[in-house]
Amino acid sequence: MSGFGVHSEVGKLKKVIVHRPGLEMRRLTPKNAEELLFEDVIWAKKARDEHEEFVGIMRDNFDVDVMHVHKLLEDVVAVPEGRAYILDRKITPNEVGVMREKELRAWLDELDSTTLVRHLIGGLTAGEMPSDSVLAASRVWGENEFAIPPLPNQLFTRDSSCWIYGGVTLNPMFWPARREETLHLAAIYKYHPSFSDGDFQIWWGDPPEDGHGNAMLEGGDVMPIGKGIVLIGMGERTTYQAVGQVAKRLFEAGAAERVIAAKMPADRASMHLDTVFTFCDIDLVTVYQPVIDSIQTISYYPTDTGFEVVAEDRGWLDVVQDALGLSHLRVVQTGGDAFEQAREQWDDGNNVVALEPGVVVAYDRNEWTNAKLREAGVTVIEFEGSELGRGRGGGHCMTCPVWREPVY
């Protein structure tokens, strides 16, 4: 195999992209948290410690090649072409204003790679820019105004790009606060030496700065599960306009045989499919049943002229079971009584990430769901997530698998 491609949800995880919380988390305040899609202010140091524990499980115990966004970007902006690719798209009159554009671009071009990436992800305020002309502007707009906004959701690397079999999509995300994350991943795939000569396709979303209208896609909704099947949620963040385009491209390339879409309520608590449904083993999933019961299942099949769409008259779990050819799909529901189930779904009890068949990583706070998974024979490796969990994302959200082995 080429070292790239995600061919299942539970095959051995070989290579993954993550992002350790940094300056961007320290920029969160009670005033801007909602705008930046957080319910609370996170203790950044504690979140970094928790993230390092999570990474250590994958890297040290399961020999996963863990790649960090900030280090990948540092390598990219060390190359003139990579630096220009990002700054040409980020430092524009539409983003930073006419008065700032030339001075800011010239200053950023002179920064060392580490400092530049720190500000690309962590944000840059007017007061942090040293030139006299920019400081004059900062007196007009305020020294704490962001010339470059922080990206605290870069933590959730699953969403901005997602690997589907032998290629990747560059995702136009739903909320403006997240869209710059995709630009960073696009630059990595195009200019980092680990990817630039790689044998993989960019299925859709390139160039990332193009307006995609109502076509929105986020990786937490996307699951290649093997046998040419791709599951895609359509809820708060992913739209049918994007699903149709991705399905068409995959079918044209012969990369998929069927796309199964889950039409879900547009609700913050179930923003992505992986907040209510994840695979833990070849034949076992964990689910939050109240949302699963509400899913309308829609199948896309290739045709000579594109694709056809079939509204299924069976439930989501039955369709997935039959698509995989399983005689029985084992289902572990969120644990506890109705109150505990609601709490643990909110705390990402169903958002676990498999490191190999039957082995998952989960927050320790979800004790009821973790216990039920263990009863079903799943090895659950726990790590502390008291701070990371405030961002409404678990291990599945915080990982962008780049290479995962097939199971069929």
Tell me which residue has tokens 């901005």. 160
Q: What angle do CA 237, 241, 245 make, to 5 degrees?
A: 115
Closest CA to 67 of 9, 121, 14, 120: 14
Tokens of 271: 């923003």
User: How far apart are the C-alpha atoms of 243 and 254, rounded to whole Å?
Assistant: 16
Q: For tokens 């009670």, what's the residue?
A: 30
Residue 61 neighbours by CB distance under 10 Å: 12
165: region left, alpha or beta (phi > 0 left; psi from -120 to 50 alpha):
left
Amino acid at 72: L
Task: Classify 258 as helix, strand or coil.
Answer: strand
Specify whether the backbone of 45 is left (phi greater than 0), alpha (psi in -120 to 50) or beta.
Answer: alpha
The torsion of the CA quartet 239, 245, 247, 250, rounded to 10 degrees, works out to -140
Starting at the earlier edge strand, list the strands of the sheet with 258-263.
222-226, 229-234, 258-263, 296-303, 306-311
Token pair for 165? 């079999």
d(CA 109, CA 159): 28
Asked about 400 being catalytic, the answer comes back as no
- Regarding beta strands 222-226 and 284-287, do their DSSP bridges make them parallel or antiparallel, or are they unpaired? unpaired
Q: Which two tokens stand for residue 62?
A: 């399961």
213: number of Cβ within 10 Å: 10
- Residues marked active site are found at 397
